Amino acid sequence: MTNISKSSDLIVITEGALITALALVLSFVPHSTGVSSIEFMYGLIPMAIFALRRGLKAGLMAGLVWGILDLVLRGFSNGGFLNPLQGFVEYPLAFGVVGLIGLGSSRVKQAIKNGKSALGLIIFYSAIGFFAKYFFHFIAGGIYWGSYAPKTMNPWIYSLVINGGSFIANMIMMLVLAVILNRVFKRLIVIRD
Amino acid sequence: MDKIILGRYLPGDSLIYRLDPRGKFLLTFYFVGIVFLANNIASYAFLLAFVLFAVYLSKINLGFFIKGLKPVFWLILFTVALQLLFTPSNHPIWHWGIFTLSNEGLVIAGYIFMRFILIIFISTLLTLTTTPIEISDSIESILKPLKKVKFPVTQVALMLSIALRFVPLLVDETTKIMDAQRARGVDFGEGGLIKRIKSFVPILIPLFVSSFSIAYDLAIAMESRGYKDGEGRSKYRVLNWSKRDNLTILFMAIVTVILLFLRSY
């Protein structure tokens, strides 16, 4: 059987593509948190694992592709694109920055190789990526309400509540899964040739 | 979940279908931008006439476009109600507590409603007449100039097309796993927060494993067929920019000039 190095550029691209497809598909799994407008974004989990496994550049690329496909497959059909600037910030930018989780790739891998749990590092770097994502959704929400809400209303408050709530809900999700699946996550993050 | 990959594409044949997807995609963005220039009844009426003309040219029943409003129905209702009840005015028709109904509020609510209709109709026109594959091919082509600033366009483009190709396969796999879990009594989206998160574990792990395994097999298959990088590769789906696309851009420029005129009228 042909063999290929698990660190080759090509496998980084194919893995990134499959993880993006997975992230996209997971958004069609029921994801209500019980509070309306605040939802789990299951796709963040594979993206976080991929960014930690393959690093910053690969993570940013996969995040960008995820954003583009989410706009194409869901955004245009669900009324998610209602202002050009909001559309750009809400999709390519907000999804792309999830790849910032990749900033922690080498530290997390090193910790795992040293036999540590790496739980704290996984949560910390995931928080960076998740925060960046919801920060841009917050900005996009402000742009949207700024162009659609009455002038007397503060467009940022509603956006802050919804996106702040989504950030917290998704951090809880990441924390619970990282605790339950700590051993699995570690195996997925480290590349074994 | 089966319809994800086709989005809302409706097979058909008309002038709008035959336009180059790159032009359609960019003009949709452009149109959504110029909608915000409209500021009076004449300009909104003109844009509505333009959108209805585009709908007519697409030969698609207007009902499909009205259906497009369904996912945003509550957002439209909420936003229009906000404008109706909270627009400040010195001459209110009706006033109760924090709520104020005025002529200004009615007019602005009407404009905001029109803005929704115009934007949703034009993006529905794009998704009904263009497949997601065509849209992602267009995005790939639009990103090309970014090569000059060392943006990894070829890698992103390859990732985009592979991801799109594998969405249906992973949808199938996800559906099978979820059905198997449901048969074991798992209730997705029910119970407390932690229970909902835990019910996701049996879906996540098998999907992770199969995604990595497919990615590995695909990379081997591509490498054994001599794949190097994206440079100089020919395309299976070739986009053709024709005279009618130039004419559409010219037409859109005329629409913009008329809109600017009506705006200051």
Q: What's the rounded Cα separation, in Å, for the pair A185 and A108? A: 11
Q: What's the rounded Cα separation, in Å, for the pair A3 and A5? A: 7
Q: Higher-confidence residue: B234 or A177?
A: A177
At A78 the pLDDT is 77
Least confident segment among A29-33, A188-192, B150-154:
A29-33
At A7 the pLDDT is 63
At B196 the pLDDT is 80
pLDDT band of B7, cuts 50, 70, 90: low
Q: What's the rounded Cα separation, in Å, for the pair A68 and A62? A: 10
Report yes or no: B211 and A46 within 8 Å, Cβ to Cβ. Answer: yes
Q: Higher-confidence residue: A40 or B3?
A: A40
> In which residue are the tokens 């835990």 written?
B198
Q: How many domains does chain A have?
A: 1
- Spatial CA neighbour of B89 closest among A20, A40, A151: A151
Report residue B135 CA to chain centroid gap. Answer: 9
Q: What is the pLDDT of residues A14-24, one digit of tens each?
A: 999 999 999 99
Distance from CA of A125 to the nearest CA of B (A): 20
Vertex B99: Cα angle to B94 and B102 (nearest 5): 45
Q: Higher-confidence residue: A92 or B140?
A: A92
- Spatial CA neighbour of B168 closest among B51, B5, B9: B5
- Nearest C-alpha in A relative to B84: A150
Residues above pLDDT 70, as percent of chain B: 95
Q: What is the residue range of A35's domain?
A: 3-189
At A6 the pLDDT is 64
Q: What is the pLDDT of residues B103-145, one digit of tens each?
A: 888 999 999 999 999 999 999 999 999 988 888 889 888 988 9
For residue B96, list its beta bridge partners: B99
Identify the CATH number of the domain in which residue A46 sits.
1.10.1760.20
Interface test with A, best of B9, B35, B211, B214 (most A CBs within 10 A): B211
Least confident segment among A144-153, B36-45, B144-153, B242-251:
A144-153
- Spatial CA neighbour of B76 closest among B126, B103, B101, B111: B111
At A34 the pLDDT is 64
Q: Is the CB of A78 less than 8 angstroms away from the CB of B72?
A: yes
Cβ-based contacts of A188 with chain B (< 8 Å): 208, 212
pLDDT band of A63, cuts 50, 70, 90: very high
Report yes or no: A133 and A91 within 8 Å, Cβ to Cβ. Answer: no
* Mean local confidence (pLDDT), B226-246: 81
At B1 the pLDDT is 52
Q: What's the rounded Cα separation, in Å, for the pair A155 and A143? A: 8
- Nearest C-alpha in B relative to A178: B201
For residue B101, list its beta bridge partners: B94
Cβ-based contacts of B152 with chain A (< 8 Å): 57, 61
At A149 the pLDDT is 78
At B103 the pLDDT is 86
Cβ-based contacts of B104 with chain A (< 8 Å): none
| Burial grade of B10 (CB within 10 A; 0-12, 13-18, 19 or more) | middle
Q: What's the rounded Cα separation, in Å, for the pair A61 and A102? A: 11
Report yes or no: B84 and B99 within 8 Å, Cβ to Cβ. Answer: no
Cβ-based contacts of B27 with chain A (< 8 Å): none
Reduce the secondary structure of chain B to three states and give it as a string: CCCCCCCCCCCCCCHHHHCCHHHHHHHHHHHHHHHCCCCCHHHHHHHHHHHHHHHHHHCCCHHHHHHCCHHHHHHHHHHHHHHHHHCCCCCEEEEECCEEEEHHHHHHHHHHHHHHHHHHHHHHHHHHHCCHHHHHHHHHHHHHHHHHHCCCHHHHHHHHHHHHHHHHHHHHHHHHHHHHHHHCCCCCCCCCHHHHHHCCHHHHHHHHHHHHHHHHHHHHHHHHCCCCCCCCCCCCCCCCCCHHHHHHHHHHHHHHHHHHHHHCC
Cβ-based contacts of A10 with chain B (< 8 Å): 219, 222-223, 227
Between A17, A69, A176, which is nearest B194 by CB?
A176
Distance from CA of A107 to the nearest CA of B (A): 22
| The pLDDT of residue B170 is above 60 | yes
Between B8, B193, B204, which is nearest A45 by CB?
B204
Q: What is the pLDDT of residues B192-220, one digit of tens each?
A: 778 888 888 888 999 999 999 999 999 99
Q: What residues 175-204 of chain B have any CB closer than 8 A to a CB of chain A?
A: 178, 188-189, 192-194, 196-198, 200-201, 203-204
| The pLDDT of residue A98 is above 90 | yes
Q: Is the CB of A42 less than 8 angstroms away from the CB of B204?
A: yes
Distance from CA of B111 to the nearest CA of A (A): 10
* Residue B223 contacts A where some CB pair is shorter than 8 Å: yes
Distances (CA, A) of A124 to A119, A131, A132: 9, 10, 13
Q: What residues 139-178 of chain B have any CB closer than 8 A to a CB of chain A?
A: 139, 152, 155-156, 158-160, 162-164, 166-167, 169-171, 174, 178
Vertex A125: Cα angle to A123 and A126 (nearest 5): 60
Q: What is the pLDDT of residues B63-113, one digit of tens each?
A: 999 988 888 888 899 889 988 888 877 777 877 877 888 888 899 999 999
Query: What are the residues whose beta carbons fall under 8 Å from the beta carbon of B169, sequence distance 6 or more?
Result: A21, B214
Cβ neighbour number for residue B260 with a 10 Å cutoff = 13
For residue B14, list its beta bridge partners: none
Distance from CA of B12 to the nearest CA of A (A): 18
Query: What are the residues whose beta carbons fall under 8 Å from the beta carbon of A46, sequence distance 6 or more?
Result: A19, A22, A23, A26, B204, B207, B208, B211
* Residue B258 contacts A where some CB pair is shorter than 8 Å: no
Q: Is the CB of A57 less than 8 angstroms away from the CB of B152?
A: yes
At B140 the pLDDT is 85
| The pLDDT of residue B2 is above 70 | no
Q: What's the rounded Cα separation, in Å, for the pair B199 and B202? A: 7
At A75 the pLDDT is 85
Between A65, A68, A76, which is nearest B126 by CB?
A76
pLDDT band of A33, cuts 50, 70, 90: low
Q: How many CB pairs under 8 A join A and B?
A: 217
Q: Higher-confidence residue: A37 or A191?
A: A191
| Structure tokens, A57 | 């550049």
Distance from CA of A101 to the nearest CA of B (A): 18
Distances (CA, A) of B255 to A3, A190, B35, B261: 58, 56, 11, 10
* Residue B37 contacts A where some CB pair is shorter than 8 Å: no
